[in-house]
Structure 1
Amino acid sequence: MNAPAAPALVLRAASLSPRSLDREARTVEAVASTGADVERLGFTERLPVAAADLRGLEGAPVLDSHRRMSVRDVLGVVEASRIEGGNLIVRIKFSRRAEVDPILDDIEDGALRGISLGYQVNAWKDERTAAGRVIRTATRWTPKEVSIVSVPADEGATIRSSAMPENQITQDRPATPAAPNPAPVTRAQVNAEIRSIGRLAGLEAGWADGQIDAEATVEAARAAAFDAMATRSAAPIRTQRATILHDNDAPELRGERMGEALYARMNPSHQLSEPARAFYGMTTVDMARDMLQRAGVSTTGLAPAALVTRALHTTSDFSIILGDTVGRTLRAAYSAAPAGVKMAGAQTTARDFRARQRIMLGEAPSLEKVNEAGEFTSGTMAEAAESYKVETYGRIIGISRQAIINDDLGAFANLAARFGQAAAQFEAQFLVDLLLANPAMSDGKALFHADHGNLAGSGAAPDDTTLAAARTAMRRQTGVSGERIAVTPKHFIVPPELEETALKLVAAITPAKTDDVNTHTNLSVIVEPRFTSATAWYLVASPSEIDGLEFAYLEGAPGPQIESRNGFEVDGVQIKVRLDFGAGFVDWRGWYRNAGA
């Protein structure tokens, strides 16, 4: 089974090779990928090195821990790459900026040995093991960047002890094998490469023109670009620019991006937004460390439990992150829950919590012949009114500190999904209770009443005869001003005990003669398991044709809403689920009831 490719940037880690470090040239070799399996949430990822498209890897940036917020995060560039012994080998050239020197010192001392490969999967192939585990194999993937990281994850990566032979780097790259007598590089190609370097570095066209006029080599231009970026980064920040933030730098936006990244780990089918990709793969502990560091708190030597505890007491970002994650999961479960009677109602909004007065206009007055003098007479429209109001319902749930430390995404997902289902269940039960209560209308009579012409005189099971009688009763309904309105039934609502009967009654058939024609095929069957009666059934008109059951949410807040805060009563994060909801029948003419037999 071929799964659709998701253009998400994924991360893998491997090892640096300190003994291949050339301090003077500022280069080092690394095993970027061995193709080892990596356990992801819900599946095992397999990344064959032979399936990699390396054409864009040379010249790709080398970053500090996948950060892309500033040019200071660019530590260098991938100078060359090749595949050797099933491993992806890269040679990294570091910037000459002074702040990069400590990283080179750590590599030389062996204290910093990990790199992480950022890549994009272009095509997947899914298989399932005998034990039921899904194996997702990338049949085409493209490396996008390489990052220096503190902890490597690709344990099968080898550590190189010598420099990569220059003549093998190009020969072993699968996309462009070297010819026996390679053509010489022209000046036009060099100039084009220099302009490309300038664009990648964000430099003005005049910079590239100056390099070309000086007949600089590609290597010299690249070094000059690093120097230019370093000079630009070191420039003092003007006061008027202090309020300009990258999207992911704003605390609330950053929390939402992290929350979306956590949600994507729980739901691999979710398509990550571009700003959230920077946080994909981070655990809750990683996010705690990031929050503290951005708040200016030192995290050196802190264990995972201490990181989470300090983050809970130092910043409110955890509540933002988990609130976003829970909210996305809750809304997905809420939307997927069976709706029942709700499908036959009309959704609207209320501006506030006051009683909502629904004015129903009668039929327009009939037209009259205009006399010879051209005088038009005035007509009036009858009115009727019903009312209901929106009220607030909700609960508070807690996500424990232990679950956060354990990065227990399953607990988050299950908790949020159940509350989403509970919110949908509450709405469905609310509407069923309202229907079964047979509420009084503004004329003082019950919703289903003989005087309203929408109640069968005696209960009977649904069949061709009783359905035809219900249709006739709805067709003979009169409006507010007494005119015939010929209501058309749309929904056939039944309890589970009548589901089979209802489906057979509305099933399309190919008649052999006119008497066999099924006149009920336009009805949509709705099965409502919350009905207390096993025999009562209803015919309902479309709410787009005539008013009937109406449910409302507070304006700007449809469905359950989420608020979150770092917990005081609980040791963790508290999530408040709020639902502003109300419903009422604003007309009886579109609903018909038969008590059944």
Structure 2
Amino acid sequence: MNAVTPIAVSEPMAEEAIITRALPQAATSWNAETWTVDATLATPGAGVTRYDARGEYSEFLSFENQSWPVQIPLLDSHRRDSIDARLGSVDTLRAVGGELHGRIRLSRHHPLSQRIAAEIADGHTLGVSIGYITREQRERTNPSTKRREMIATRLDVLEASLVTIPADRSAGLRSHSMTVIPAPVETPVSTPASPPANAAASTQERAEAANTIVDRAAVNGEIRSIARLSGLDQAWVDSQIDGNATADNARQAAFAAMSQRAAPAGQVRNTSISIGTDHSDPELRVRQVGEALYARHNPGHQLSEPARQFFGLSTLDIARESLRLRGMATTGLSAATIVERAMHATSDFPLILGDAVGRTLRESYRAAPSGLKLLGRKTTARDFRTKHRLQISEGPRLKQVVEGGEFEQGTFDEAKESYKLSTWGRIFSISRTAIVNDDLGAFTDLARRLGQAAAATEAQILVDLLVSSSGNGPTMSDGKPLFHADHGNKATSGSAISVGSLSIARSALRKQVGLTGEAIDISPRYILVGPDKETEVEQLLTVLNPAKAEDTNPFAGKLAIAVDARLTGNRWYVSADPATVDGLEYAYLEGEEGVVIETKAGFEVDGVQVKARVDFGAGFVDHRGWYTNAGA
């Protein structure tokens, strides 16, 4: 997995996120002559909480097979904005026992380095943090905690810093590599006069207060760095500092603030990398202007905020703006010339019109559902090759195993049905005259009709499939039609819809068996009729309060009515729920569900051409969930 890890607690450098990781450091290997101290800079076992677009995870470092720089700068709290923040350097970087070691060399010329040298000699604990960029990493899931973990397997260490709040508490300054030498006795430049004996306690308190002030300054510096990296303002910084927040508190608060706020200009921010959307992007602009144009003739549409700025523009305004964005002047040009140039000199103007038309077309397509389609199961196909649906029989019954006996081998039987997708479509044109006249109704009405036609095409395909073979349905893999006496799903004679005929239909479904003869206990869910039988079935299934118990309708409230206007005659059908039992199945090409719109400037036709296409196919993959009666 190759990626620059988008997490940091310091500001970006060289346009890449520098991740930081801190360790508590003991003060035991200080060399007062060379002002050096050996340190464990990082350990692999210390998991540090990070965040990415997928949420929280633990980061671990691997130091095997790495190449290390000869020397890296030692900074104050990852500050890279000033030379005054450089406290010295770190050299001799190496991997030892799975840990990253290095030698810290403090500058003798920096006042803060001088204070740090004295504190190390006195045995104070310091935090050391490395700043690095992850070049390669791999992901794993902790089997115990189920937490996501990322292991950095190749990284560039860019700097080390002395910090107050360590993230990794598994290592410290090395105590065994060098002899501990007492701190040098030096007289500071600003040494005050010796205090009186009775002021010893006050002197101690002032020293501790001074240390606290310096430590607080380091934390405040890190808070400011977090704010700059996270895009947070000075008010946020002030609130954290005034509340005496630690660096860890500030990181958590920054992450919460970024999660709750709406990023400006459509940007989505991670801790150190902004992955956003440029609203000048032509593809995005096409969608926004197309939505605004669509809203002009569909007042009920709720405009998105980015599209609101384009609401009210006429087609001529849109054409003029398309030319302007291409650096083409429109002053003095007639409306017809502007439209013509926009169609042929720019690519976005035809696409904008196509987007608006496509929205209308898809809306009308969705608003014209098929009664029969409700009884089918939707799926997708990867290509146009024949789609085979394999049926697996029910599992064989378990058999008793006597003491010392052997388990018998069970088998599954198989059967398969098939169908494939076909492409259906038409092209229509938006005339140049309609565009110049800003006549939205002329082409949106045509788009609405085409959407309805697309839905009707799918519905007719399903109906033709169902009523094929003189009403017996398509031929199945066993060579018999869908509805056949051998399938046990066809009434022996036609009859009106009644409690008695529905009871026979329900019994037929209940008695269906699987491939191995096992009962599968199918329940009816829908009754499908044409318009000639709609009132009859509604009367039958209406819930009434009968005067006699024998007049109670056992199917009231148990069957849903589906009506398809394309079905004619008296024939009616009963089907199981497609979510539980295989039966009718229809499919779209994977990734192109429903109507797909393509647009281009017309050449043979003076205007914009819009092509509507749907890749659709259907078939019955099992006969067991369906029953038919010829009716009367």
TM-score (structure 1 length as normaliser): 0.58
Aligned residue among 432, 454, 459 for 1:428: 459
The residue that corresponds to 1:316 in the other structure is 347
1:510-530 deviations in Å (ceiling 9; x for gaps): 244431221112111112221
Q: CA deviation at 1:284?
A: 0.7
Q: Distance in 2 between matches of 1:383 and 1:511?
A: 48
Q: Secondary structure at the match of 1:581?
A: strand
Alignment of 1:376-395 (within 5 A): 376-395=407-426
The residue that corresponds to 2:538 in the other structure is 503
The residue that corresponds to 2:617 in the other structure is 582
Q: CA deviation at 1:205?
A: 5.0
Alignment of 1:201-212 (within 5 A): none
1:155-200 deviations in Å (ceiling 9; x for gaps): xxxxxxxxxxxxxxxxxxxxxxxxxxxxxxxxxxxxxxxxxxxxxx
Alignment of 1:45-444 (within 5 A): 247-373=278-404, 375-437=406-468, 438-444=473-479
Q: CA deviation at 1:375?
A: 4.3
Alignment of 1:539-554 (within 5 A): 539-554=574-589
Cα 1:439/1:245, change in 2 over 3 Å:
closer
Cα 1:263/1:374, change in 2 over 3 Å:
farther
Q: Secondary structure at the match of 2:614?
A: strand
The residue that corresponds to 1:456 in the other structure is 491
Contact 1:463–1:505 at 8 Å: present in 2 too? Answer: yes
Q: CA deviation at 1:204?
A: 7.3
The residue that corresponds to 2:511 in the other structure is 476
Contact 1:562–1:578 at 8 Å: present in 2 too? Answer: yes
The residue that corresponds to 1:531 in the other structure is 567
1:306-332 deviations in Å (ceiling 9; x for gaps): 211111121011221011111111111
1:233-258 deviations in Å (ceiling 9; x for gaps): xxxxxxxxxx9996331112111111
Cα 1:203/1:559, change in 2 over 3 Å:
closer
Q: Distance in 2 between matches of 1:526 and 1:510?
A: 24
Q: Secondary structure at the match of 2:279?
A: helix
Q: CA deviation at 1:374?
A: 7.3
Q: CA RMSD in A?
A: 2.1
Contact 1:247–1:275 at 8 Å: present in 2 too? Answer: no
1:488-539 deviations in Å (ceiling 9; x for gaps): 111111121111110011111224443122111211111222123x111111
1:390 alignment partner AA: L
Q: Secondary structure at the match of 1:420?
A: helix
Q: Distance in 2 between matches of 1:380 and 1:246?
A: 55
Q: Distance in 2 between matches of 1:410 and 1:370?
A: 76
Cα 1:433/1:204, change in 2 over 3 Å:
closer
The residue that corresponds to 1:486 in the other structure is 521
Q: Distance in 1 between matches of 2:285 and 2:366?
A: 26
The residue that corresponds to 1:15 in the other structure is none
1:501 alignment partner AA: E
Aligned residue among 581, 591, 594 for 1:556: 591
Q: Secondary structure at the match of 2:309?
A: helix
Cα 1:244/1:495, change in 2 over 3 Å:
closer
Q: Secondary structure at the match of 1:490?
A: strand
Cα 1:308/1:514, change in 2 over 3 Å:
same
Unaligned regions of 5+ residues in structure 1, if any? 1-201, 210-242
Cα 1:204/1:514, change in 2 over 3 Å:
closer
Contact 1:247–1:254 at 8 Å: present in 2 too? Answer: no
2:563 alignment partner AA: V
Aligned residue among 554, 557, 562 for 1:519: 554
Q: Distance in 2 between matches of 1:204 and 1:302?
A: 47
Considering only CA atoms, is the larger Rg found in Structure 1 or Structure 2?
A: 2
Q: CA deviation at 1:552?
A: 0.3
TM-score (structure 2 length as normaliser): 0.55
2:614 alignment partner AA: L
Aligned residue among 555, 563, 567 for 2:602: 567
Q: Distance in 2 between matches of 1:350 and 1:249?
A: 36
Unaligned regions of 5+ residues in structure 2, if any? 1-230, 239-273
Q: Distance in 1 between matches of 2:277 and 2:337?
A: 29
Q: CA deviation at 1:343?
A: 0.9
Alignment of 1:21-36 (within 5 A): none
Q: CA deviation at 1:370?
A: 2.9
The residue that corresponds to 1:74 in the other structure is none
1:524 alignment partner AA: A
- Asked if 1:593 is matched to 2:628, the reply is yes
Q: CA deviation at 1:570?
A: 1.0
Contact 1:401–1:573 at 8 Å: present in 2 too? Answer: yes
